[in-house]
Structure 1
Amino acid sequence: METKTMQGRQGILFIVMAACLLFGYGAGVRGIYGIVIKPLTALSGISYADAGFSFGIAQLMHGLTQPLWGALALRKGNRLVLLCGVLLMAAGLILTPLAHSVSSLTLYLGIILASGTGALSFGLVMGTISPILGPKRASAVSGILNASSGIGSAILSPVMQGLNSAVGIQ
């Protein structure tokens, strides 16, 4: 009986940590926009104002895609949406440094990357793990998950700053 309880607790802990990493990473990526805008403009030759436009589109797309991802999650499942979010974020992160025009930056960062972060929103991550946790644990975990957003930003900001100083934005 003791072994089952420990495995159950370890499983719950693993799920909560994975959810926090996922949500924290998505929020952290959105939190580093301010750090990457200047080096990105220098690399791409895009003006600061035009890059700012793409970053603004990214903020709008992040918010606009969340209900769309939620609707897809209701039809196809949360796991598919979270997987799509991770893949879109990865694609956006890889492609963004390759942008050399406002349209490509808006596509890569403003649409692809931002759609990925929209898929990793609080509601979708929490909605995925809540049935596993049960109502009592879910309310406590929601606070921990929400805090991981700030932790993700606090960790990714200095990491990105250091990487940018060491090897550049690419």
Structure 2
Amino acid sequence: MPSRGPSALTVLLCGSFALAVAMGIRQIFGLVLLPVSQSQGWAVTSVSFAFALQQIVWGVVPPLFGALADTKGPRLVVAGGGLAYAAGLVLMALGGSVFAFQVGAGLLVGTALGALGFSIVLGAVARVTPPEKRSLYFGIASAGGSFGMFAFVPLGQSLIGDQGWQVALMAMALLALLVVPMAWPLGGPPPRPAEAAPGPSLREALALAGRHEGYWLLSLGFFVCGFQLAFITTHLPGYVASCGLMPEVGAWALALVGLFNIIGSLAAGQLGGRYRPKYLLSAIYGLRGLLITLFLLLPKTPGVTLAFAASMGLLWLSTVPLTTGVVAGIFGPRFVSTLFGLVFLSHQVGAFLGAFLGGISVEAFGNYDAVWYASIGLSVLAALVHLPIRDRRLAAFANA
């Protein structure tokens, strides 16, 4: 491993900060959905579409940014993401039309999330981390995003309640700019170790991944993850309000998701170094289905809602270090940003459907039941598809 350049700890800390800001700001979007709709007179479906578009853009751009980061380094990608995030938030706050809101939230913020997302940051971490510590470091970096989800929600709810949603978004734009200087230690073009035997090129790696059945099954499982997370993040506050609970309950539920997500991400990172990640992923998706079923069956009290949020938090981003670990285990660390970015595209297709269909369901049926039931069925599917994945390192990547 190269001795020059930032240390693994420096890359880990700066990458974790970028994830904390990116995921933290994103977590408050569920809190602004109803205030924006009510104050501007825009249909819930129109506002939901902005966040659904964000999910799909967030999914499309990571493979492109991943290829750029894998060949030119993540520094420029992450810095550009911070600038795009701030610009998108300003347009959401001051654009004055539903179209401007959709461009800001959907296109600009979606692009920024792709540049600041897990595929870029975890790819940077993978390149400077020895294999025996890789799963642990993936968990720590993912926990950074989890901490942001916890810390930003109370701040966002306070700003929305005291100053209004527009001021809240402008404040978040200022915070997004802090990511730009944190990008520098993440590095430029990654040096190739002199002792490594020549391995597959990026194009060859993509071709091998496309022929690997387990890679497609992993992508299908991550589709389910995106569907569930986007639906809950976007619509849990509205669902809680429809059950007659105070808005603060929805805000604290999202905050608890972030808090317990820290524990879940760290635990997944530790366990992924001891057990085969595909089995852990299967268990996580099965437990999600069980939790959603129990939540629907139990009375909707603040205690039940917060307990559900805390339990889901344990299973939230715990899929990220494990899914990344499967990709790195099969294909090696060199092209993790690109290959995980493509898996993440599937995640975001699911996220688009989860966010958008939640809005469709409440307008068509007056409730969210159809999407909750779909989430349960998808949990069963995801739990099953991970079991047959062949997760051993391919021979072509033995020295990658």
1:162 aligned partner: 158
Distance 2:137 2:159 in 1: 32
Moved more, 59-68 or 112-121: 59-68
Aligned partner of 1:41: which letter?
Answer: S
Q: 1:44 to 1:71 in 2, by over 3 A?
A: farther
Deviation at 1:147, TM superposition (A): 1.9
Report % sequence identity.
32
Determine whether 1:90 maps to 2:86.
Answer: yes
CA contact (8 A) 1:79 1:128 kept: no
**Candidates 6, 18, 27, aligned match of 1:22:** 18
Q: 2:44 aligns with which of 44, 48, 67?
A: 48
2:120 aligned with 1:142:
no
Q: Contact 2:11/2:124 (CA < 8 Å) preserved in 1? A: no
Match of 1:4 in 2: none
CA distance in 2, matches of 1:135, 1:163: 43
Question: For residue 103 of structure 2, what is the aligned residue in structure 1?
Answer: 107
Report SS of the residue matched to 2:165.
coil
- Does the alignment pair 1:57 with 2:53? yes
Contact 1:44 1:98 in 2 (8 A): no
Of 67, 72, 78, the match for 2:74: 78
Instruction: Give, in whole Å, the separation in 2 of the partners of 1:72 and 1:43.
Output: 41
Matched, 1:69 2:68: no
**CA offset digits 1:9-68 (Å, max 9, x no partner):** xx5444322211111221122222211112222444322221111111111111111112
Distance 1:103 1:75 in 2: 35
Question: Taking structure 2 as the reference length, what is the TM-score of the superposition?
Answer: 0.38
Shift of 1:136: 3.4
Q: Which moved more, 1:153-162 or 1:12-21?
A: 12-21
TM-score (normalised: structure 1): 0.84
Separation (CA, whole Å) in 1 of partners of 2:99 and 2:80: 23
Aligned mate of 1:153, from 149, 154, 169: 149
Compared CA separation, residues 44 and 99, structure 1 to 2 (3 A):
farther
**Whole-angstrom distance in 2 between the partners of 1:131 and 1:71:** 14
In structure 2, distance between residues paired with 1:24 and 1:162: 19
Is the deviation greater in 146-155 or in 126-135?
A: 126-135
Q: 1:168 is aligned with what amino acid?
A: G
Structure of greater Rg: 2
**Which residue identity lines up with residue 67 of structure 1 in the other structure?**
P
Runs of 4+ in 1 over 4 A off after TM superposition: none
SS at match of 1:46: coil
Contact 1:44 1:97 in 2 (8 A): no
> Which residue in the other structure is 1:8 paired with?
none
Equivalent of residue 124 in structure 1, options 114, 120, 126: 120
Q: Which structure 1 segments of 5+ residues have no match? A: 1-10
Q: Tell me the distance in 1 between the aligned counterparts of 2:143 and 2:108.
A: 25
Larger relative contact order, structure 1 or 2 (CA cutoff 8 Å, min sep 6) = 1
Q: CA contact under 8 A between 1:40 and 1:97: conserved in structure 2?
A: no
The answer for unaligned runs of 5 or more in structure 2 is: 1-6, 167-400
1:6 aligned residue: none
For 2:151, the aligned partner's letter is I
Q: CA deviation at 1:114?
A: 1.1
What is the rounded CA distance, in whole Å, between the counterparts of 1:162 and 1:59 in structure 2?
Answer: 25
Cα displacement (A) at 1:168? 1.0
Letter in 2 for 1:165: G
Aligned residues: 161
User: Contact 2:125–2:138 (CA<8 Å) still a contact in 1?
Assistant: no
